Structure 1
């Protein structure tokens, strides 16, 4: 789907066809739409291909001959993990391509995302499609803020899952914790790549920076650094929590095995006594049914008392 937007005064409106100073938004474009971007708009084929590569990492590329600059940035995405039976929430990152061209700016993404939606609906203060550098920086600021929002969500989900684990050691909670730990790894990797891309933008060699945009760029860097720090903190906490619960589960298993072993020993005592009286052995005292039964009961009580005194049932 390809849509065209242009800022008129303080309002960003959808237009029918591309104009000078417009923003072209391509979300999950078909092959025909990709051909349109290449042939009609003039976007370089390699830039379109890179923007639609799900494994593409954040970077910046420039073509001097065509006067086009490609900025690939990773943005966070929340979805359910379909690879598990528990449908646990999994946070991932996906690439978003921003191509700065002469006369317009183009964004290409594989899927719908809230960042493009906010830009299209005019929810971003100070957005202007004529100012391509500011448009890029505002988009990067929105993405960095989205990282912070999702990191706080991960922290809340982690705390809630930890409380559930205190009550019952179920696979669902453990799988959710593993999913959150995986999500933090994705976030950490993408945030570091985005930081490298931002540092290249700050040098001003590939993208022209204006004095009025410096504050926005500094805000983006602050948000990215804060997100990286939060990601490292949450990752450390979650890793420690997982290790602690692994030890608790292992300890609980040892306790269960100890109790079962003690019960087996106690139950084995009557079997030993009755085995003697069940064999053809002469000279056993009082070969009546009640005597071995009484001996077995007394022996079981003594063994239970000894194990109880040594706290072997806990």
Structure 2
């Protein structure tokens, strides 16, 4: 899908033609759309296809007059078992246009178009890209807080009832944090590379802006590491609790089995068709019953002091 946009009065508006636009948003492009962009804007085909690889690594490539910037952006899909993942976003810079390519519709442009402050014009490449990078970092931070809240909710639910669904949910959240941590680390070298490429032309404000980007991404990476460590610790703790609960249940069942076995043993012995002591006594029934009760009481007392109950 192709969407053409033009910057007007600090806002981006959709336009109908490629010739009248400054930004081209490309989502899951067809071969026909790729050919159109390749022929019209003279973009290398591998630049347009780079973001289609779900495992594409962040990097910067230069093929004059085009430049390619690939970074990993966060993506939220509530319908998926793994609701938080990352996607490859390709930014292709030509002399006249900026093309963004992604394999799925992401929330990046939705947030960019609804931010309260005005976006820089695409002609100011450094400021525009910096605003985009900052928005990506903020999305990471927002989604990381959502993961933290969901992990807390799952933890509270597990305290009430340790069901498999809650444990699987925790495992999926841990997997999401692995995706975020890996992508944030992969994005980190981009900012130094970006600064080196534009270093001579950068103003002090633009240098400060790039430093802000590095700080935001570093904060997101540190949060992802912290949440991942906490979640891993929680999973280990719950595994220990489950194993301990199983041991408690097994001890209880073993204790009950032994207690019930003692009366059964006495009854089995006195039920044999052989001569038995006191079998002609008028208390022949009462004696086994009392003996069974006494042995069971002794067993219960022993198990109680051993804290098997």
Distance 1:207 1:54 in 2: 34
- Higher normalized contact order (CA 8 Å, seq sep 6+, divided by chain length): 1
Deviations 1:290-310 (A, max 9, x none): 432332122212221222233
Structure 1 residue corresponding to 2:256, chosen from 236, 259, 263 = 263
Structure 2 residue corresponding to 1:296, chosen from 262, 284, 292 = 292
Q: What's the counterpart of residue 65 of structure 2? A: 67
Runs of 4+ in 1 over 6 A off after TM superposition: none
SS, match of residue 83 in structure 2:
strand
- The answer to whether residue 30 in structure 2 is matched with residue 30 in structure 1 is yes
Do the aligned residues in 2 keep the contact of 1:98 with 1:136 (CA within 8 Å)? Answer: no
Name the TM-score, length of structure 2 as normaliser: 0.92
Name the TM-score, length of structure 1 as normaliser: 0.90
Q: How much does 1:177 deviate?
A: 1.1
SS, match of residue 226 in structure 2:
helix
Q: What's the counterpart of residue 174 of structure 1? A: 167
Q: What's the counterpart of residue 221 of structure 1? A: 214
Output the aligned Cα RMSD.
2.1
Distance 1:143 1:41 in 2: 26
Structure 1 gap ranges (5+): 83-87
Do the aligned residues in 2 keep the contact of 1:141 with 1:223 (CA within 8 Å)? Answer: yes
Q: What's the counterpart of residue 13 of structure 2? A: 13
Distance 2:101 2:68 in 1: 10
Of 198-207 and 100-109, more deviation after overlay is shown by: 198-207
Going from structure 1 to structure 2, the CA distance change for 1:308 and 1:252 (only over 3 Å counts) comes to same
Do the aligned residues in 1 keep the contact of 2:82 with 2:176 (CA within 8 Å)? Answer: no
Deviations 1:133-188 (A, max 9, x none): 22222111101100000111111111111111111111111111111111111111
Deviations 1:191-243 (A, max 9, x none): 01111112211212699645442232122111001001111111111111111
Deviations 1:21-47 (A, max 9, x none): 711111121221111111122211010
Distance 1:43 1:289 in 2: 99
